[in-house]
Chains A and B, each alone.
Chain A
């Protein structure tokens, strides 16, 4: 049986191996992903993000448990933690909170280090998600690194983005800043038994009330384009606020219902397809950038490149001039 065939038939070792190859962007991995691509596009991708310590992993654990108990869908989890910027090493600890899921062959958890990416997920997280999608995992949960304010890449990847907050983390000004709150399709206030939960809820709710449909600016082909603001009507999605206590499993029913409603909304409004297009578009942008960079570096001797950096460091020429010289001389 071929490698990709055994993945389609549910061989977990083959799946684990392909995840590694996809993460390392190896030639075998690319070949297998090419063969498997036709089987993707079936899964619901759920992103879970939020500040460190808000309880993302515990919430993901509960969500996966819920889907396993109440549906026959297989669940995959991609849990991302940061790599050290100095050594490249990482401690990936999200599994610690997911021990309830062990022993269930319908669940597959994969930890992933960011390997230098700064958007809250790794550069190859999308590839791992594709592998799980092809392998028949219908629910794929992507847990980001503990995110601050601008790690918003998960929203480009997921159909439904859940932003997890906890009481006591910020005031109304935090809530009106741009960034992470804007990407929420569903807002969760976890640790809802903690003091201050009313304040957090009030702040988030007033933010949502202040919100009005805005023109969205998206990057496409390296250029910024804007999409028209949606008109306000009853079909507009307003992010619900769900209170949970993940360690006790409280509020999970309601969260799952909100997720289901969001899926329904995406399907009816046509946003499901729009998000799919946007995701694949930004993936292609990334691949083009990588391919061009590789081709550029192939054509320029390392020595010449180093000399150019030296000139820039000595303030002989500016970085713009250096790039111009390198490109003009060497790219066909």
Chain B
């Protein structure tokens, strides 16, 4: 009789090797009682979508510091959709210029977080997205 846990995939697409942010977020989500699947560095969009499918996650968190977000994010969204996982909510953390944010939101990215974002906000937004999805 366990209540349904929120399952989150934290993934790091692209070629930069800075995963401290991703680890901090993974740890914060863990402390908020979520089950976080951590995939490690240098994942392709295909690898991320495949892991999201196998793990049947509710949320995918992408950490992108390389500047390639406008190429990576739509590709990942497309692959999730192709796999029938339209209901998965995608969040991005990293260095995202202000002018790209509206377009990312339009594509279907649920939340975007830059340097200095509080993990409490991320947790609150993930929970809210789950609540909206389930009602």
In the bound assembly, the distance between CA atoms of A118 and B36 in angstroms comes to: 20
- Pair A20/B56 contact, Cβ less than 8 Å: yes
A102 at the interface (CB under 8 A from B): yes
The answer to whether residues A95 and B31 also contact, given A88-B5, A108-B54 and a CB cut-off of 8 A, is no
- Pair B53/A12 contact, Cβ less than 8 Å: yes
In the bound assembly, the distance between CA atoms of A155 and B26 in angstroms comes to: 31
B17 at the interface (CB under 8 A from A): no
- Pair B47/A12 contact, Cβ less than 8 Å: no
Contact for A19 among B1, B5, B33, B56, CB less than 8 A? B56
Residue from A16, A24, A84, A89 whose CB has the most chain B CB atoms within 10 Å: A89
Considering the complex, give the chain A residue whose CB is closest to the CB of B4.
Answer: A24
User: What's the least CB distance linking A267 to chain B, in Å?
Assistant: 31
- Pair A102/B51 contact, Cβ less than 8 Å: yes
User: What's the least CB distance linking A293 to chain B, in Å?
Assistant: 10
- Pair A91/B30 contact, Cβ less than 8 Å: yes
Contact for B55 among A91, A93, A103, A111, CB less than 8 A? A111
Decide if the interface of chain B is mainly helix, strand, loop or mixed.
mixed
B134 at the interface (CB under 8 A from A): no
Considering the complex, give the chain A residue whose CB is closest to the CB of B3.
Answer: A24
Number of B residues with CB within 8 Å of any CB on chain A: 31
In the bound assembly, the distance between CA atoms of A16 and B53 in angstroms comes to: 7
User: What's the least CB distance linking A101 to chain B, in Å?
Assistant: 10
The answer to whether residues A13 and B85 also contact, given A20-B56, A25-B2, A102-B50 and a CB cut-off of 8 A, is yes
- Pair B40/A99 contact, Cβ less than 8 Å: yes
In the bound assembly, the distance between CA atoms of A24 and B58 in angstroms comes to: 14
Q: Which residues of A contact B39 (CB under 8 A)?
A: 95-96, 99
Q: Which residues of B contact A84 (CB under 8 A)?
A: 30-31, 33
In the bound assembly, the distance between CA atoms of A109 and B85 in angstroms comes to: 17
Contact for B38 among A92, A109, A294, CB less than 8 A? A92
In the bound assembly, the distance between CA atoms of A96 and B51 in angstroms comes to: 11
- Pair A294/B1 contact, Cβ less than 8 Å: yes
User: What's the least CB distance linking B17 to chain A, in Å?
Assistant: 14
Q: Which residues of B contact A294 (CB under 8 A)?
A: 1
In the bound assembly, the distance between CA atoms of A80 and B48 in angstroms comes to: 20
- Pair A89/B37 contact, Cβ less than 8 Å: no
Q: Which residues of A contact B51 (CB under 8 A)?
A: 95, 102, 109
In the bound assembly, the distance between CA atoms of A84 and B38 in angstroms comes to: 16
- Pair B31/A102 contact, Cβ less than 8 Å: no
In the bound assembly, the distance between CA atoms of A19 and B56 in angstroms comes to: 8
- Pair B32/A87 contact, Cβ less than 8 Å: yes
B84 at the interface (CB under 8 A from A): yes
- Pair B35/A113 contact, Cβ less than 8 Å: yes
In the bound assembly, the distance between CA atoms of A96 and B47 in angstroms comes to: 11
User: What's the least CB distance linking B102 to chain A, in Å?
Assistant: 31
In the bound assembly, the distance between CA atoms of A89 and B51 in angstroms comes to: 19
In the bound assembly, the distance between CA atoms of A208 and B127 in angstroms comes to: 52
- Pair A89/B56 contact, Cβ less than 8 Å: no
Q: Which residues of B contact A24 (CB under 8 A)?
A: 2, 4-5
- Pair A111/B32 contact, Cβ less than 8 Å: no
**Interface residues in A273-300 (C-beta closer than 8 Å to B):** 294
- Pair B56/A111 contact, Cβ less than 8 Å: no
Considering the complex, give the chain A residue whose CB is closest to the CB of B39.
Answer: A95
The answer to whether residues A89 and B54 also contact, given A13-B84, A99-B47 and a CB cut-off of 8 A, is no
A250 at the interface (CB under 8 A from B): no
- Pair B33/A103 contact, Cβ less than 8 Å: no
Considering the complex, give the chain B residue whose CB is closest to the CB of A96.
Answer: B40
- Pair A12/B54 contact, Cβ less than 8 Å: yes
User: What's the least CB distance linking B28 to chain A, in Å?
Assistant: 9
Q: Which residues of B contact A83 (CB under 8 A)?
A: 35
Report A1-45 CB contacts with B as 1/0, cut-off 8 Å.
Answer: 000000000001100110110001100000000000000000000
User: What's the least CB distance linking B62 to chain A, in Å?
Assistant: 16
B16 at the interface (CB under 8 A from A): no
Q: Which residues of B contact A17 (CB under 8 A)?
A: 56
Q: What are 5 A-B residue pairs whose CB atoms fall within 8 Å in the complex?
A: A12-B83, A24-B4, A25-B1, A84-B31, A113-B5
The interface of chain B, by Cβ under 8 A from chain A, is: 1-2, 4-5, 7, 26-27, 29-40, 43, 46-47, 50-51, 53-56, 83-85
- A89-B29, A109-B51 given; name 12 further pairs at CB < 8 Å: A25-B1, A88-B5, A89-B31, A89-B33, A99-B43, A99-B47, A102-B46, A102-B47, A109-B54, A113-B5, A113-B35, A115-B5
